[in-house]
Structure 1
Amino acid sequence: MKLPNQRWIISSPDPKIVEQLVQTTGLLPLMAQVLVNREINTPELAQVYLEPESQLLPQPLEEFPDLGVSVELLQDAIASQDKIVICGDYDADGMTSTALLLRALKHLGADVDYAIPSRMKEGYGINTRIVEDCASSGVGLILTVDNGISAYEPIARAIDLGLSVIITDHHDLPEKLPPADAILNPKLLPESSPYRGLAGVGVAYILAVTTAQNLGLLKGLTDQLLELFTLGTIADLAPLVGVNRRWLKRGLRKLPKSQLAGIQALIQMAGVSEEQKQLQPDDIGFKLGPRINAIGRIGDPQLVIELLTTDEEGLALERAMQCEQINQKRQQLCKKIEEEAINLIETLPVNWQQDRVLVIVQPHWHHGVIGIVASRLVERYGAPVFIGTYEEEEPEKIRGSARGIEEFHVFEALEFCDDLLGKYGGHKAAGGFSLPIQNLEAFKERLSRFAHQCLKPEYLKPLIKIDAQTDFKQLTPYLYQQIDNLQPWGIGNDFPVFWTANVKLIEQRIVGQKHLKLVLAQEDGTEIKAIAWRWADYFPLPTCLDIAYKLKENHWNGNTTIELEIIGIRLPQNIRATKKAVFQHQGREYACSFWESLNELRIRNAQGKVLAVNRGKRIGLLGTNRDNAQEVDVTQPHYYQLIKAAMAALNMEK
């Protein structure tokens, strides 16, 4: 029996605080508990969470010290028709930020163009080549979006050449800030600021709106900018808290009826229902966002800029179709590289559990998709992942992507390796880096040293964070309605996860070759249907389980029912063996037990090795625990005779 190797963290908030929120908000106790788990633990915080528009926001001009200077620089450039170049980035955040400011500045009458570095040849962020090209073509003002905070040398070069520079970025701050004329970065604000969680597109949004307001030209621009902010913020996995939550709640209602030809074309290509009153973050995160991100990863970002700035429906549809084709190619690349990576990890083998970090580098992998593969490897192994490939132009250099886990800070890990690296950047959860090939072994060793400082061995399992224990009678349409009313859920405000103990598995079958369709029941006979995505490898599941899940609505033939999306399972913590016995076989002593709820026989030898086999199955597991157990064919004579002796001993115990 093979089960997911997970660790569960079950929240246990103060019942008095939960009860206080129930009294003041009218929420169900389960939902009040969810809010407390999100650190929304006072009536005042709950009021802002439930009704984001009720919060009195400080004006951006009061919060961002350099916003006034930035607006003046833009107004002067527009008035004097100085050429402005937006230096963007090739991910969804960078491309939506670039499109947002292009739309805004053109609306305001600016002479504006954009430049995005080549992912393959130059890597992330503004560089000296872009700066010198701008200087030689008469540009007066460079405006970075979603990059620039770590680009000291290129910015210094721009200032030396007489250009004005505004940096808008949201990445972590380096020790020495670049000598720009103005810097807008939420990381410069206090932790308590509602603007602190903005993505790059959020900073661009504030700059565009404030400039348009100052010029009295915001009319006709508001919805366009809000829609691009919404698209970029969710696609960049920015935290859905503070002003992000407030503005996204509004923006998600606008998107189904978007006035932007490009967003309408994307919605059409992605198969998102236009009948929805509002889009959900998942519609963007899993459908619209990847089609944009795919271009930056393996295509030409100009496609996305044209898609999001054109007002021609024909051109928008053409560009959306190109995004679709490139996204399909990206999916194939990801699948191939992921399979190769898993094969390498498990056949070499890579000793990531001892190192507490998984570092894997191969030639010929595509730079543009290794970050996605890193995320999938984190999901599979539950360890921080640093994945790299060789530069095409400079084969003696490695470029890579990193993804972290809850207790691991990626950017701090990269800083710990500073002297071994070339360029690097990122934040707690993700980062990018480059290094000379001769430093690879030292880099692995240094990362392992950093990981040993913050990770215990038990952390190296995929994490399931759970809000509350429930029984099936509590899973009502009214509960689902309260969950739905509290959208948007997402990064920093995760969709609620519940768990139920000692669930009986009534039916299970594989659907679509990869997924499990289940019917579950509690002891009182209450049944519910469930789906477990990509869990066919665990078929058949034991007949008694603890389950962790999200609630989903299923619409079929005009009927709406509540179903479960299973994300975690474990053997019940309180089950006991139905029968136990000790017996002799071929001169050796064994202990055996039969677990009726799991339909499983376990036989333990004197050395602590256990043979576990489900009744009627040819394949069993042999090892000291399930993590290191190997599959064995129990029809082989020595296993078969041992099982026969164990069953005889158990039958004598009746």
Structure 2
Amino acid sequence: MLDQTPIAPVKTRRRLPNQRWQIYPQKIELAQNLVEATNLSPLVNQLLINRGIDTPLAAQAFLDPESVNLPSPLEEFPDLAVSLELLQDSVTRKEKIAICGDYDADGMTSTALLLRCLRWLGAEVDYAIPSRMHEGYGINKRIVEEFKSEGVGLVLTVDNGISAVEPIARARELGLRVIVTDHHDIPQNLPPANAILNPKLLPESSLYRGVAGVGVAYILAVSLAQQLGKTNSGIIKPLLELFTLGTIADLAPLTGVNRRWVKRGLQELPQSKLPGVQALIQMSGVQSRQGTERTLSGGFLRTSDRRNGELLTGNIFDNFSASPTHRVTASSNTVSASSAKSLKPEDIGFRLGPRINAIGRIGDPQIVIELLTTDDMGIALERAMRCEAINLHRQQMCEQIEQEAIALVETEYVASLQQNRVLVVVQPNWHHGVIGIVASRLVERYGVPVFIGTYEDDNHIRGSARGIPEFHVFAALEYCQDLLGKFGGHKAAGGFSLPAENLAALRSRLGKFANQCLELQHLKPLLKIDVQANLNQIDRQLYQQLHALEPCGIDNPDPVFWTPNVQVIEQQIVGKGHLKLTVAQTIDDLQFQIKAIAWRWRDYFPLPKRVDIAYKLRENNFNGNTTIELELLGVRLPERSQLFFASAPTPIKTSFEHNQRQYTCGIYQNGSLPELRIKNPEGKVLAVLQGHHIGLLGTHRENAQEIDVTQPQYDSIIQAALEALGRLAEKLRD
């Protein structure tokens, strides 16, 4: 028998986060050039540039997505017209329709969305979701045959079906008509469905390309409502809200139509008429925020009219009627809130979404379907309370499994991580529904790909995998396919099963694969950082300007700033292992302080007194007071050059020899930052501000070219200059 004794958590050694920082190149001139077009600060324009938005036209489309001419879905999805004909025929003839969904947030919101729409339109409709623990993902023959026995004539798959060749072939044999709506990758052989709606079949340039399963369901439902002349009946708002919930919870990219529709949906959710959404918001404690829509005179960013969610004629996805909002301008440096209230993607991603996802992981998906389809507030509150209890249980399970996994890694595997370059962690009695979450946390902690599993019985293991940017999870599983049972996934994540006797061989094979594609420098979690900011720049106006980038999420991440060489004034552990601190930066003899929080950083307490910090901005509402704080994502010890910049007097000048050539160098004050300047015998000057990786090279600042000073030819001369200045500073102190 397997050893059933749980591994006790162990105390791990104190350390700083094991990270590698990737800081975007700073395009100072380009950011300044965009100011006139966007009326946003150069700091925020740099964020746009980092997201590939570097022209006035691209800025207009991004900042005001409603301004983009959206093609009709009927022009984009080849099988949409056929799907609408099939559905309209079934609705008209009162033929029974059945939906086969999935047990994750995308699948459950998709199922609820189509149930609401079809019932509203008068259809006879029911649904089924396969058992996560006993059947696994997707439509299967049992469900198909059950549908047939219940008199179903038309089957709709949502968030699954694109790979279900055999079950759908069986459905066609039984005389069922099938519409597949899915968003997963396209296999070599498509199922023999009557119609297939999948954005992966569209060109990569399509604005619809990134929709999740719930996005395909939304397109189908709204198109059907228009075809039946029911778009002015109050049905569209609820569908938009469910689309927004599912899209964010499924981590779909917030680009293209997702950005446009999620932006609308986040405004509608606080005023939702859906009892289930109201109950979820109430149970989770989410508070809607005052909107910060604004018009920027002289630029493209303007107040997007608050949409009431009802569709008009023409392209139904492109024309919304408008209700007025308060328009204000920022040209006078005033940015004020509109009367509209809104949620943020993080409210769904960290509050509402987990309560839905927890059900699919360890509960019965029927709870969520009933929550999102009921019109009875009493039922909604009861189902929301069950979601709350199950999510709490899920959190406790994750915490326990994570601690046990860390203990196992620290005891048996951490010493060989650099050699193996992958973690394979397997234990009995772990719940399969949550080990994927734990895998992600282990990736964050150790910076290597993680394959985590649990025993289904003495002879079989079932697991989940999570990767890092340089490691392809699905390719790794294919490399080991002769050792596995079922497996699937994509670049970043996957699932697998295997005979227990193959575990040692799998660990060895994965290590071999990892050593082929990973170098030692890859074995640290990657932290992508947008731009450097000083603490005196962190204020409400900057925070409000950042709203222009919202909604933020996948492919449009929250802005990440960094500040070098801050002083840690105070720090303490609060709550469940969170680190609360105050940091300070001295600029022009003035000290600027700001509070910060670092979630789950107990193991890094206490931090050194001087660190570089990477962070997001967050709003803290407490006792009626609202302040802007930092949410720490990373810290590192300051580079030697940063410590020198901070301690050296300015101005300070000297000369030095490098590669048999004479140079002069000095540190001067440029605004609020020290600047290193190095001059060669020909009079050309290299200038770089403290903490910046982009410098200027030329004879005059006006026509100097921007260069990356981390390149070896520049870095070596900078280090030589700093050493010469360091020797001079020592003499001056003596």
Q: Give the TM-score of the pair, scaled to structure 1.
A: 0.85
- 2:551 is aligned, of 488, 492, 495, to 488
Name the counterpart of 1:320. Answer: 384
Question: 5 Å matches for 1:57-456?
Answer: 57-218=70-231, 219-273=233-287, 277-349=341-413, 351-391=416-456, 395-456=458-519
Name the counterpart of 1:609. Answer: none
Question: 5 Å matches for 1:529-568?
Answer: 529-568=595-634
The separation in 2 between residues aligned to 1:270 and 1:481, in whole angstroms, is 25
The separation in 2 between residues aligned to 1:354 and 1:113, in whole angstroms, is 53
Name the counterpart of 2:635. Answer: 569
The separation in 2 between residues aligned to 1:536 and 1:367, in whole angstroms, is 27
How far does residue 160 in structure 1 lie from its aligned partner after superposition? 2.1
How far does residue 48 in structure 1 lie from its aligned partner after superposition? 1.2
Contiguous gaps of at least 5 residues in structure 2: 1-13, 291-340, 648-732
The separation in 2 between residues aligned to 1:190 and 1:166, in whole angstroms, is 21
Q: Structure 2 vs 1, CA of residues 71 and 513 (structure 1 numbering), >3 Å: closer, same or farther?
A: closer
Stretch deviating more after TM superposition (22-31 or 94-103): 22-31
> For 1:49-107, what per-residue CA distance to the aligned partner results, in whole angstroms no more than 9, with x for missing partners?
10111111111111111111111111122222222110000011100000000011111
The separation in 2 between residues aligned to 1:118 and 1:208, in whole angstroms, is 26
Query: Would you say the 8 A contact 1:171–1:426 is kept in 2?
Result: no
How far does residue 13 in structure 1 lie from its aligned partner after superposition? 4.2
The separation in 1 between residues aligned to 2:51 and 2:248, in whole angstroms, is 19
The separation in 2 between residues aligned to 1:70 and 1:449, in whole angstroms, is 47
How far does residue 513 in structure 1 lie from its aligned partner after superposition? 5.9
> For 1:199-221, what per-residue CA distance to the aligned partner results, in whole angstroms no more than 9, with x for missing partners?
11011111111111111122321
SS in 2 for 1:349: helix
The separation in 2 between residues aligned to 1:447 and 1:148, in whole angstroms, is 30
Q: Structure 2 vs 1, CA of residues 299 and 456 (structure 1 numbering), >3 Å: closer, same or farther?
A: same
Name the counterpart of 2:565. Answer: 502
Stretch deviating more after TM superposition (539-548 or 281-290): 539-548
The separation in 2 between residues aligned to 1:312 and 1:287, in whole angstroms, is 22
Q: Structure 2 vs 1, CA of residues 316 and 513 (structure 1 numbering), >3 Å: closer, same or farther?
A: closer
Stretch deviating more after TM superposition (522-531 or 417-426): 417-426
How far does residue 150 in structure 1 lie from its aligned partner after superposition? 1.7
Q: Structure 2 vs 1, CA of residues 293 and 9 (structure 1 numbering), >3 Å: closer, same or farther?
A: same
Tell me which amino acid in the other structure corresponds to 1:348: E
The separation in 2 between residues aligned to 1:311 and 1:513, in whole angstroms, is 37
How far does residue 135 in structure 1 lie from its aligned partner after superposition? 2.2
Q: Structure 2 vs 1, CA of residues 452 and 68 (structure 1 numbering), >3 Å: closer, same or farther?
A: farther
Q: Structure 2 vs 1, CA of residues 345 and 258 (structure 1 numbering), >3 Å: closer, same or farther?
A: same
Stretch deviating more after TM superposition (307-316 or 152-161): 152-161
How far does residue 523 in structure 1 lie from its aligned partner after superposition? 2.5
The separation in 2 between residues aligned to 1:420 and 1:78, in whole angstroms, is 48
How far does residue 462 in structure 1 lie from its aligned partner after superposition? 1.6
Query: Would you say the 8 A contact 1:510–1:536 is kept in 2?
Result: yes
The separation in 2 between residues aligned to 1:114 and 1:546, in whole angstroms, is 53
The separation in 2 between residues aligned to 1:212 and 1:429, in whole angstroms, is 37
How far does residue 10 in structure 1 lie from its aligned partner after superposition? 0.4
Query: Would you say the 8 A contact 1:257–1:274 is kept in 2?
Result: no
How far does residue 3 in structure 1 lie from its aligned partner after superposition? 1.3
SS in 2 for 1:148: coil
Name the counterpart of 2:61. Answer: 48
Tell me which amino acid in the other structure corresponds to 1:311: D
How far does residue 566 in structure 1 lie from its aligned partner after superposition? 1.4
Tell me which amino acid in the other structure corresponds to 2:424: V
How far does residue 275 in structure 1 lie from its aligned partner after superposition? 6.4
Stretch deviating more after TM superposition (67-76 or 438-447): 438-447
Name the counterpart of 1:642. Answer: none
Query: Would you say the 8 A contact 2:568–2:583 is kept in 1?
Result: yes
Q: Structure 2 vs 1, CA of residues 513 and 223 (structure 1 numbering), >3 Å: closer, same or farther?
A: closer
Q: Structure 2 vs 1, CA of residues 211 and 513 (structure 1 numbering), >3 Å: closer, same or farther?
A: closer
SS in 1 for 2:619: strand
How far does residue 428 in structure 1 lie from its aligned partner after superposition? 2.8
Tell me which amino acid in the other structure corresponds to 1:551: L
The separation in 1 between residues aligned to 2:489 and 2:35, in whole angstroms, is 39
Tell me which amino acid in the other structure corresponds to 1:232: G
The separation in 2 between residues aligned to 1:548 and 1:90, in whole angstroms, is 36
The separation in 2 between residues aligned to 1:355 and 1:274, in whole angstroms, is 47
Query: Would you say the 8 A contact 2:26–2:531 is kept in 1?
Result: no
The separation in 2 between residues aligned to 1:361 and 1:54, in whole angstroms, is 51
The separation in 1 between residues aligned to 2:454 and 2:246, in whole angstroms, is 27
The separation in 1 between residues aligned to 2:167 and 2:585, in whole angstroms, is 63
The separation in 2 between residues aligned to 1:257 and 1:184, in whole angstroms, is 31
The separation in 1 between residues aligned to 2:32 and 2:263, in whole angstroms, is 27
Name the counterpart of 1:647. Answer: none
Query: Would you say the 8 A contact 1:88–1:97 is kept in 2?
Result: yes
The separation in 2 between residues aligned to 1:352 and 1:202, in whole angstroms, is 40
> For 1:226-262, what per-residue CA distance to the aligned partner results, in whole angstroms no more than 9, with x for missing partners?
0000011111111111111100000000001111000
Q: Give the TM-score of the pair, scaled to structure 2.
A: 0.76
Tell me which amino acid in the other structure corresponds to 1:369: V
- Size of the aligned set, in residue pairs, is 579
Tell me which amino acid in the other structure corresponds to 2:268: K
Tell me which amino acid in the other structure corresponds to 1:156: A
> For 1:447-477, what per-residue CA distance to the aligned partner results, in whole angstroms no more than 9, with x for missing partners?
3343334322211212211000111122121
The separation in 2 between residues aligned to 1:453 and 1:78, in whole angstroms, is 55
How far does residue 437 in structure 1 lie from its aligned partner after superposition? 3.0
Q: Structure 2 vs 1, CA of residues 563 and 274 (structure 1 numbering), >3 Å: closer, same or farther?
A: closer
The separation in 2 between residues aligned to 1:64 and 1:446, in whole angstroms, is 42
Q: Structure 2 vs 1, CA of residues 448 and 182 (structure 1 numbering), >3 Å: closer, same or farther?
A: farther
The separation in 2 between residues aligned to 1:538 and 1:63, in whole angstroms, is 51
How far does residue 14 in structure 1 lie from its aligned partner after superposition? 3.3
Tell me which amino acid in the other structure corresponds to 1:47: Q
CA RMSD of aligned residues (A): 2.1
Q: Percent identity?
A: 69
How far does residue 130 in structure 1 lie from its aligned partner after superposition? 0.9
Tell me which amino acid in the other structure corresponds to 1:499: W
> For 1:281-305, what per-residue CA distance to the aligned partner results, in whole angstroms no more than 9, with x for missing partners?
1111111111111111111111100
How far does residue 490 in structure 1 lie from its aligned partner after superposition? 1.3
The separation in 2 between residues aligned to 1:101 and 1:557, in whole angstroms, is 42
Query: Would you say the 8 A contact 2:289–2:343 is kept in 1?
Result: no
Q: Structure 2 vs 1, CA of residues 452 and 23 (structure 1 numbering), >3 Å: closer, same or farther?
A: farther
Tell me which amino acid in the other structure corresponds to 2:439: A
Query: Would you say the 8 A contact 1:132–1:158 is kept in 2?
Result: yes
